[in-house]
Structure formats: structure tokens, C-alpha cells
Structure 1
Amino acid sequence: MKLTQHFSLAELTASATAQRLGLDNTPAPELVPRLVLTAEMLERIRTTLGVPVTVTSGYRAPRVNHAVGGVTSSDHAQGHAADIVAPGYGSPFEVARLLAPLVSTLGIGQLILEGIKGKQWVHVSTRTPEKLANRVITITDAGARVGIQVLA
């Protein structure tokens, strides 16, 4: 099922962890409209970057979210978020640095540059966090910092 021109439901629900563990990662029907909004946000990001965007993690069913170590309040479990990379544009740092000043324009509620256990990606969500200081942050193994920071 295509959600937008470049993003499908299958792409936003693909999970190597779910496949490996034999877990169902099908979203409840009431979450599909949220996934459409997430895909629309990804389309705006894709247009801004001028290159394809790869979703490395999208929707996560509760058991899948638990298996990957996600928090119970994760935007992924509600259909609001996707972790992305855009190698054709540059590193996750370069992607996040471009997107940070455009979060409101692009309909990004939260932008997180993540560098955890040697892997890097950009987390984008349609949901705006309660604390505006958490709207654009960098998370590494050392913790969270406000803004987009250079990853080691």
C-alpha cells in the first residue's frame, strides 16, 4: 500500500528485528493515518534534500519496540516517527544540520541526530515534544544535548 509517492506502508513497517524474532509488525488500522502524515513529512524531507531517503526504522508494534529497547512512549510505536539516512546527500550530521532550521517549515515535530553504539541516523517525528528544548537534539552514548552537535 502506497502512503505517498515515494513511501509505502511496507517500507514504514519493515523491521529486521520483527522478522528475526517472528513478531508481527502490522499497525492497527487507526494508526495508518498517522503513518500517512509521517510519509508526507518524509516526502518534504526528500524534496528538501533532493535525494532519496532511506527509512531504517519506522513503525514498531509494542513487542517489536520492546525487542529493540525502545521506550514505551516511543513515537515509533504510535506511527509518528521514522529513523532515516540519505547517503546521496551526506552523513546523518549533514542531513540533520540542513533540516534543523527548517523543522517548522517541513512539519517536523522533533529532530534528533543519533549516534549510538557506532551507528548514526536521523530521527524525525511529526509529534512535537512538550519541552521545546527537546525539539532539536543530539543523542549519543554519552547522553543528550540540545541542538545538532558533531558526532565523534
Structure 2
Amino acid sequence: MTENFSLSEFTRSTTAARRGLPNTLPGELMPAALQTLAMLERIRAHLSAAAGRDIPVQILSGYRAPAVNTAVGGSANSDHMRASAADIIAPAFGPAIDVARELAAHVGDLRIGQLINEFPGASGWVHVSTRAPLAVVNRVITITAAGPRAGIVSA
């Protein structure tokens, strides 16, 4: 689909595979998926430039069919179901919090609608979406077990 990201990578779901749930991207969501993957290309290029070396970006979760979204405990309004979001890591750049901090300063330039540092720590990830939230205060947030907080914080 793009130079560094495939449709199969964007729709891959271990939960769907384990539970036998289909996770095929509907044709009408292809434009949104392409827009999301283009954002991921911009993110990869930015992280690579910031690091001075190639930084691969791994998609942990991209498109989710509604049943898959329910199975993973996703929000009923999740941008994943619209093919407008991806949960990512970039281990060659550093932990997810470092990725989130680097991207947070460039959300406008990278055309990231929303950036969420999810569950900071060794197993955390960064959620990026092409759709901006209705409340500007929710554009860059951190979600921990204690709930959401504005900005990128470590705990």
C-alpha cells in the first residue's frame, strides 16, 4: 500500500486470528487506510531524520473490524474501526514514551490528528490517528491505569 507498510500489516490482529474473527478492510475504508498509512510514512521519515538513521515503525494494531474492536476492549468510537488509527512502536528509536515525546512536538507538521501515549512503560505503545478530537485538550494525551492526562507524561 505504501513504501514501508502493507495492507496485511495494517489489518493483522492476533486477537482476530485467535478468536476466528474476520478483520478484512471494507473497500469504502480504503481511502482512510491510505491516509493513515501516509501519516505513518511521515512518522517513520521524521523519526529516522531525528535519529540520523533508518527507524522502522511497527504497527501493533491498525484497522479493527467492529467485532475485533470489541474483543480487544476498544472504545465504541475507536478510530481503528474507521481505518484512521494505528498503535505503533519504534524500538530502534527508543521506548514508546520517547517516540511520543518526539512526535508530540510535531503533530501539526506530521498531520497527526491525535497522539496518545498509551500505558507508559516497557510494554507501552503510541496511538496515532488522522482524525483530530473535538476537544483540542485531547489532541496529545497519556493514558495510564489511573486514566487519561493531558500531554506526554511518564506515569
- The answer to whether the superposition gives a TM-score over 0.5 is yes
CA contact (8 A) 1:54 1:84 kept: yes
Does residue 143 (structure 1) correspond to residue 141 (structure 2)? The answer is no
CA root-mean-square deviation? 1.2
Shift of 1:117: 9.5
Aligned to 1:28: 26
Letter in 1 for 2:23: N
Task: Count the aligned residue pairs.
Answer: 149
Q: 1:142 to 1:16 in 2, by over 3 A?
A: same
State the TM-score, normalizing by the size of structure 1.
0.95
Runs of 4+ in 1 over 4 A off after TM superposition: none
State the TM-score, normalizing by the size of structure 2.
0.93
Aligned to 1:105: 109
Aligned to 1:120: 124
In the TM superposition, 1:83-98 aligns within 5 A as 83-98=87-102
Which residues of structure 1 form unaligned runs of 5+? none
Aligned to 2:41: 43
Q: 1:89 to 1:148 in 2, by over 3 A?
A: same
Q: Percent identity?
A: 55
Deviations 1:74-127 (A, max 9, x none): 000110000000000001000000000100100100000000797300000000
Aligned to 1:57: 61
CA contact (8 A) 2:97 2:120 kept: no
Out of 55-64 and 112-121, give the one that drifted further.
112-121
Q: Distance in 2 between matches of 1:110 and 1:39?
A: 15
